[in-house]
Amino acid sequence: MLARPQSIDFEALFGASPNPYVLFAPDLTIVTMNDAYLKATMRERDDLQGKPMFEAFPSDPESESHKALQNSLDRVLQSGEPDELALIRYDIAQPSGGYEERYWSATHTPLIDAGKVAYILQHTVDVTELHRLRTIAAEAGHSARDATGVFQRAHAVQEANQTLSQETQRLRTLFEQAPGFVAVLSGPEHRFQMANAAYRRLVGDREIVGKTVVEALPEVVEQGFVTLLEQVRSSGEAYIGRSVRILLECEQEGPIEERFLDFIYQPINAETDTEASGVFVQGHDVTEQRRAEERQQLLIHELNHRVKNTLSIVQALAMQSFNVRMEPEIARKTFDARLNALSAAHNLLTTQNWENAGLLETIKASIAATTGANVDRLRFQGPDTVVAPQTAVSLAMAIHELCTNAIKYGALSNGTGTVDVRWNVQPVEDGPTELEIEWTEAGGPPVQQPSRRGFGTRLIERGLSAELRSEVELEFRPTGLNCKILAKLPRIPE
């Protein structure tokens, strides 16, 4: 490459060129122009410099020429590639007033700085004379073998360009709206040529087009994605990733987030065993799907745990029911009744997703499951509250034991006795809720203190709440059994 001769003043060269040149900023403001341009447009420098191009040269935004010019400049801004307008009519205001019909051919060349279009250089050639000649020739009946050839070709090229440009625009729109993410990377640096809306969303709407992957998405480098891209580009072999974990900044300046992607790196223009010119990236964010699968696994795991736990409870009930002191038939009935009470408690918990259970419902359901038609002989009185699942199961089982005892020996063993069930809930600030239950039987046969403490009593003592111990007072009054339970219940998270 030749060294730039120090003696040449490029600014002077620009100014002195016989070709008209004008320089636009990316927002299409006129930055500067040379004398040839001023001459061609019949304007003064001060009129134009710093003004938006379409303000300096007004035209109907709906006109073909306005659109053609706008589109050409947009293409340059988007693609960073030069664009040509072979023929465009753009009338010029005359200093004397009115417009002069003028035809132009224009080349728009981007000046790139740091990967972005910094300026657009427009080179315009006034082809009005050629156009007039062609028209005159046509009117005079000459076959268009003259200069018009140039014109017809120019016209044809321009029309073809327009069709191509529309087609490109259509494809671009399709890409842009595709539900999956799409990006095109070019060269060994993996520079973003384009990225659609889904891709940009995935990376937190960062400015990525024109940048290399390393510049645009620095966090992915150490995760091996650039190495993978390079491998695809140099080998020409596609890579397909399934549910691949990636850590991405999904919001601008936001935290790094974990995502899972299905994607393909497809080499572009690869012939066998040759390097690709770039890589086409296409894929879907499958994070939600992945999370759903994980949740399902967790649920299955949790279900397994609950089943095992329930089996252990059933086993415990069996151990308490089938002991050597019991007759087998009675033991079997006791076990059946306990299973039934456990099942009733589970029904309640299931309706609440195993998060908690209503106290009132728990007490009522347990009594109903055990006493059946005798339920009318029990009176309930107490406020409702929510209790933890383990508390509900223990409480239901304890109530079941009290009912069973009443049916066998107490107030429900004859046709007339009654049971009064009252409870009270005392919320303690920042502490466990105090639950007091009083079970009073009346009208049954006289009761005696049993020789040993039964399963029910032990269960209540062990704790209606797994968190905190409870106290149980059993009083065998001549009028019937009186049982007081004082339990401390852990606070249920709202």
Partner 1 sequence: MTLDGATILILEDEPIIGLALEDMLSLQGASVLHASRIEEACELIAQEQVDSAVLDVNVHGTLSYSVAQLLAEREIPFIFATGYGDRSHPEQFADVPTVAKPYSADDVRKALLTRANCAGSGDSSIPG
User: Which residues in this chain contact partner 1 in the complex, by CB under 8 A?
Assistant: 301, 304-309, 311-317, 319-320, 390, 393-394, 397, 455, 458-459, 462-464, 466-467
Instruction: Specify the residue, 212 or 465, whose C-beta has the smaller distance to partner 1.
Output: 465
The single-letter code of the amino acid at 159 is E
- How many C-beta neighbours within 10 Å does residue 430 have? 5
What is the smallest separation between the CB atom of 470 and partner 1, expressed in angstroms?
A: 10
* Cα(472)–Cα(395) distance, integer angstroms: 13
The single-letter code of the amino acid at 425 is V
What is the smallest separation between the CB atom of 346 and partner 1, expressed in angstroms?
A: 13
* Largest CA-CA distance found in the chain, in angstroms, rounded: 135
Task: State whether the Cα torsion 159-163-166-171 is positive or negative.
Answer: negative
Q: Which helix (H) or strand (E) holds 15?
A: helix 10-16
CA-angle at 346, arms to 343 and 349, nearest 5°: 160
Closest to 229 measured CA to CA, from 262, 178, 220, 114: 220
> Could you tell me the two tokens for 209?
């087009």
98, 182, 315, 323, 338 from 402: Cα distances, Å = 107, 69, 21, 19, 12
What is the smallest separation between the CB atom of 472 and partner 1, expressed in angstroms?
A: 13
Instruction: Specify the residue, 177 or 315, whose C-beta has the smaller distance to partner 1.
Output: 315
Instruction: Specify the residue, 157 or 468, whose C-beta has the smaller distance to partner 1.
Output: 468
Whether 237 and 229 have beta carbons less than 8 Å apart is answered as no
- How many C-beta neighbours within 10 Å does residue 221 have? 12
What is the smallest separation between the CB atom of 267 and partner 1, expressed in angstroms?
A: 43
> What three-state secondary structure class fits 464?
coil
353 forms beta bridges with none
The single residue listed with the structure tokens 């710093």 is: 50
Instruction: Specify the residue, 312 or 416, whose C-beta has the smaller distance to partner 1.
Output: 312
73, 177, 184, 399 from 268: Cα distances, Å = 27, 21, 9, 75
Instruction: Specify the residue, 112 or 311, whose C-beta has the smaller distance to partner 1.
Output: 311
Q: Given 3-state DSSP classes, what are the helix, strand and coil percentages for the chain, each rounded to the nearest 5? A: 45, 25, 30
What is the smallest separation between the CB atom of 258 and partner 1, expressed in angstroms?
A: 23
What is the smallest separation between the CB atom of 308 and partner 1, expressed in angstroms?
A: 3
Sequence-distant (≥ 6) Cβ neighbours of residue 176 within 8 angstroms: 196, 197
What is the smallest separation between the CB atom of 390 and partner 1, expressed in angstroms?
A: 6
Instruction: Specify the residue, 69 or 487, whose C-beta has the smaller distance to partner 1.
Output: 487
Instruction: Specify the residue, 304 or 426, whose C-beta has the smaller distance to partner 1.
Output: 304
What is the smallest separation between the CB atom of 309 and partner 1, expressed in angstroms?
A: 5
Instruction: Specify the residue, 131 or 400, whose C-beta has the smaller distance to partner 1.
Output: 400
What is the smallest separation between the CB atom of 316 and partner 1, expressed in angstroms?
A: 3
Instruction: Specify the residue, 314 or 331, whose C-beta has the smaller distance to partner 1.
Output: 314
What is the smallest separation between the CB atom of 310 and partner 1, expressed in angstroms?
A: 9
Question: Can you say whether residue 331 is alpha, beta or left, with left for phi > 0 and alpha for psi between -120 and 50 degrees?
Answer: alpha
Residues listed for the chain: 494
Instruction: Specify the residue, 102 or 338, whose C-beta has the smaller distance to partner 1.
Output: 338
